[in-house]
C-alpha cells in the first residue's frame, strides 16, 4: 500500500525520527499516524520522551481517515469527542 499524502502533514518515517524529531511543531497538537498502529505508537512515545506533550495517536485505517477528512472531524477525533 502506498503512502497517504496529506497536504497539511509532516511526513517523517519512524526510522528517521531520531534525526528529525525537532521538526515537529511544539505550538499545537500533533498526531502520529501510520498504517501500522505500532509504528504510530513508537513515534508517539519517542516524541513524549523528548518533551512533546501535545501528541496523540490517530488510530484510524486509511479508508476511515479519507472518509473523515472534513475540517473539524479529525480534530474532534484527536480530542476524543
- Domain ranges in the chain? 14-78
Confidence band for 1, pLDDT divided at 50, 70 and 90 = very low
Confidence band for 17, pLDDT divided at 50, 70 and 90 = very high
**For the whole model, what pTM was predicted?**
0.72
CA distances from 36 to 18, 30, 59 (A): 19, 17, 9
Look up residue 67 and give its three cell numbers: 472518509
Question: Which tens digit of pLDDT belongs to each residue from 24-75?
Answer: 999 999 999 887 789 999 999 999 999 999 999 987 776 676 666 666 676 7
> Can you give the pLDDT at residue 33?
87
What's the CA angle centered on 78, arms 81 and 38, to 5 degrees? 130
Using only the alpha carbons of the chain, give its radius of gyration. Answer: 12
Amino acid at each position: 500500500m502506498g503512502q497517504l499524502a496529506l497536504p497539511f502533514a509532516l511526513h517523517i518515517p519512524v526510522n528517521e525520527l531520531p534525526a528529525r524529531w525537532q521538526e515537529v511543531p511544539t505550538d499545537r497538537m500533533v498526531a502520529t499516524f501510520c498504517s501500522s498502529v505500532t509504528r504510530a505508537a513508537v513515534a508517539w512515545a519517542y516524541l513524549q520522551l523528548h518533551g512533546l506533550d501535545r501528541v496523540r495517536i490517530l488510530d484510524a485505517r486509511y479508508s476511515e481517515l479519507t472518509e473523515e477528512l472534513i475540517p473539524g472531524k479529525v480534530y474532534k477525533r484527536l480530542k476524543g469527542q
